[in-house]
Amino acid sequence: MVAEIDPDDLASLPDDERDEIRIVDIRDRRAFDRGHVPGSECIPFPELSTRITELAGASRIVTVCPHGIASQQAAQLIGTYADAQDARVESLRGGIEAWQRDAGELVATSQEGDADERGDVDCDAESGGDCTDDPDGGNDEGPAAPF
């Protein structure tokens, strides 16, 4: 069983605790750029096994996907690697959908990449509050787990 964290619990963590968490969005880059949890990084699920070393040394990792399903698989996968063996690995319960509903806004990666040091812009200001428009019909949960 994979541990999960509720969106409002993640959002309400003090800044010093939140700064210690690696929030890994496993959606593809295009979906990530349209809107993501503030402070998250994009490691698409198909690349996860080859990029796991990027998470070495993290004490806490939260995986994120559209609905909280594929992120459970990603959390389970991350937990099997020695580079993340000592980390507390959790999945965001309900995914991006629940984050937007319960915890707060998503941010979009700016086209210019200079909105701030992370390249994020406020979705409400830039897109009328909707960063989840999906021309693929919302079926971006990702590929099946490789195990």
Give the domain CATH number at 89: 3.40.250.10
In a domain, 139, yes or no: no
Grade residue 139 by pLDDT with cuts at 50, 70 and 90: very low
In a domain, 77, yes or no: yes
Number of domains present in the structure of the chain: 1
User: Whole-prediction pTM value?
Assistant: 0.76
- CA 70 from centre of chain: 11
User: Is the pLDDT confidence value at 140 over 70?
Assistant: no
User: Is the pLDDT confidence value at 13 over 70?
Assistant: yes
Grade residue 146 by pLDDT with cuts at 50, 70 and 90: low
17 Cβ contact partners less than 8 Å away, ≥ 6 residues apart: none
Take residue 108 and report the two structure tokens written for it: 């979009």
In a domain, 69, yes or no: yes
Residue 31: which domain range?
A: 3-107
